[in-house]
Amino acid sequence: MYSFMKNIFTILLLIFITKSFAQEDAWIYLIDKPNVAASIANPTSILTQKAIDRKQNHNIAIDERDVPVNETYISDLKSQTGITVLAKSKWFNAVHIRGTEDDINALGNLTYVESIDFANQNLNTSSRSNSRLNKTETEDETIAFTYGDTQNQVEMINVDHLHLADFTGDGITIAVMDAGFPGVNTIDAFQRLRDNGDLLGGYDFVDRTSEVYDFIGSNHGTKVLSTMAGFVEDEYVGTAPEASYYVFRTEDAGSENPVEESYWVEAAERADSLGVDMINTSLGYQTFDNSNYNYTPADMNGETAFISKGASIAVEKGILVVVSAGNSGATDWQTVGAPADSPNVLSIGGVNADGDYVTFSSQGGAAQVGYQKPDVVARAGLAYVINENNTIVQNNGTSFSGPILCGGIAALWQAIPNALPTEIMDYVRQSASQYTDPDDFLGYGIPDLELAKNLALSLDEEPFEDFRIYPNPVKSNLNVILLSIVNQLEVSIYNQLGQEILNQFINENSKSINVSGLASGLYIIKLSTKSISKTFKFIKH
């Protein structure tokens, strides 16, 4: 009997040893890649020119699959117990590893592991429950964020609807220029950002150091970044929690000198070379410690201040620049500062939780000839932010309405990735609450980013050789130009809810539609023949 039990024990021990020490092959699929947007924007950093030329010749897009695997992840995998890294694939964003079944399954606890696929298919059923194979499903379930304190500032611009559709800024890279970013590399509110590999680094242009996270007189940048990228489960969600970010210190909080404008332009140039999509800044320049350097309200014309001219060049380079309007509304200065005065940037004023103008928000002024400032508004009154101590607090300032909306626009741009920066800005303005009747306090009003997305997706803006409409905006008669012979053209007009409110036919002898009875606002007009149709948008004053 003893001999029999000993044999059973030996067999069981051999089974245990075999299971514990037998080497298995597996593919570890990783959750993301570093600097995807920057790499695609600068393809020579990841591909040879010959490869780029070949893709262009065959009309093949350079995409995320061309971006290398995150070497930090590979290094960490190599350090894991019992794991040997054998190969990597950028096309699959995967690493081929070898180890025991238990050691491989243990990798499922790493935050950057998307899934595990054993070469031995019989092992995959058991491994799925222990690995992070269902991480994507979990993320899809939790995409319905519990916003907590940020609910009002998120819902006000309707970016929560974009989040529900999984548009959270993923793939959009934002450079934040500000005064200081202490705690961004350590506090829990940015842990999700760091774990996702979306904190791409930065630079301190004031002290010429890469130590950009030190506390040097200001925590302003930390608070600004939190409105976009902060995440505290069930308590706080920024407007672009899955965008990628660079942080640049360009403001010396201890002084006010024009050199800070130059630091800002340097940072913008760095951002351009890194391939960022957006710049957010809550800085503004008006007067300086040396009064000889002061600007005047009349100088806020977008063409005088060095920083404003630099911001305009950034836009010319294809970057969407979002700037806080300033906090001078209740002072003698009153008007927006630089670079918010540039006609090429999107300047953001402020409202309170009820959507009413807050008196400190800088206004449009006489210097902005022929263009509207601020452009639009978001919550600036007692906005919720997170400081360097990982504490959720409330602060006043357009310093926060700007990034709140910047993050929202990143989510919008993810939803309509083929749109140009200028088109994105137009959609944001057109979606705003007082687009047809702007003023110097709220500009075009509070944007509705879900509406902005729908406007972009429902309208084909490419030139159309058969039909044209004018004038646009229109007060009474909307005229149609027929560039080809059309016997009869059906006209349908829809409001922003998609409801048809007018339908009629026009021909060569009658090419005008009377829209004087329509309320002011944005409308969609569809022109159709039996074989073709074209959709336009127009504004009724």
* 95 close to 85: Cβ distance less than 8 angstroms: yes
Is this structure's pTM higher than 0.75? no
Asked if residue 420 and residue 337 are part of one domain, the reply reads yes
Asked if residue 135 and residue 82 are part of one domain, the reply reads yes
What is the rounded CA–CA span in Å between residue 485 and residue 487?
7
Of 140, 164, 182, which marks where a domain is finished? 140
What is the bridge-based pairing of β-strands 477-482 and 512-514? antiparallel
Asked if residue 111 and residue 152 are part of one domain, the reply reads no
Q: How many CB atoms lie within 10 A of CB 518?
A: 18
Asked if residue 190 and residue 96 are part of one domain, the reply reads no
Asked if residue 527 and residue 426 are part of one domain, the reply reads no
> DSSP state, 473?
S
Query: Domain range for residue 112?
Result: 19-34+70-140
Q: Any idea how long the chain is?
A: 541
Q: At what angle do helices 306-316 and 259-274 cross, to 10 degrees?
A: 10
- CA 350 centroid distance within chain: 20
Residues with a catalytic annotation lie at: 178, 220, 399
**Tens of each residue's pLDDT in the chain, 541 residues:** 444 444 554 544 444 444 556 898 888 889 899 888 888 888 888 877 756 764 576 466 788 878 888 988 988 999 999 999 877 677 678 887 889 999 999 998 999 898 898 878 788 854 333 333 332 232 333 356 899 999 999 999 999 999 999 999 999 999 999 999 999 999 999 999 999 999 999 999 999 999 999 988 899 999 999 999 999 999 999 999 999 999 999 999 999 998 999 999 999 999 998 989 999 999 999 999 999 999 999 999 999 999 999 999 999 888 999 999 999 999 999 999 999 999 999 999 999 999 999 999 999 999 999 999 999 999 999 999 999 999 999 999 999 999 999 999 999 999 999 888 999 999 999 899 999 899 999 999 999 999 888 888 755 444 444 567 777 677 788 887 765 556 778 899 988 777 889 998 887 766 788 998 888 878 888 888 777 777 777 877 7
What is the rounded CA–CA span in Å between residue 528 and residue 492?
8
Asked if residue 236 and residue 102 are part of one domain, the reply reads no
Asked if residue 505 and residue 417 are part of one domain, the reply reads no
Of 438, 458, 478, which marks where a domain is finished? 458
CATH of residue 507's domain is: 2.60.40.3080
* Within a domain: 289: yes
Largest separation between any pair of C-alpha atoms in the chain? 109
Asked if residue 283 and residue 243 are part of one domain, the reply reads yes
Asked if residue 135 and residue 149 are part of one domain, the reply reads no
Asked if residue 202 and residue 191 are part of one domain, the reply reads yes
* Within a domain: 86: yes
Q: How many CB atoms lie within 10 A of CB 64?
A: 15
- CA 71 centroid distance within chain: 25
CA atoms in the 13 A half-sphere facing the CB of 531:
3
Number of domains present in the structure of the chain: 3
Which tokens in the block code for residue 273?
């070379």
**Residues 6+ positions from 23 with CB-CB distance below 8 Å:** 98, 99, 100
CATH of residue 307's domain is: 3.40.50.200
**Residues 6+ positions from 95 with CB-CB distance below 8 Å:** 27, 28, 30, 69, 73, 74, 77, 85, 87, 88, 89
Asked if residue 514 and residue 419 are part of one domain, the reply reads no
Amino acid identity for residue 469 in this structure: I
CA 362-398-250 angle, 5° bins: 105
**Residues 6+ positions from 110 with CB-CB distance below 8 Å:** 76, 77, 80, 132
Asked if residue 290 and residue 433 are part of one domain, the reply reads yes
* Within a domain: 54: no
* Best CA proximity match to 90, nearest among 34, 133, 26, 41: 34
* Within a domain: 50: no
* Within a domain: 45: no
* Within a domain: 363: yes
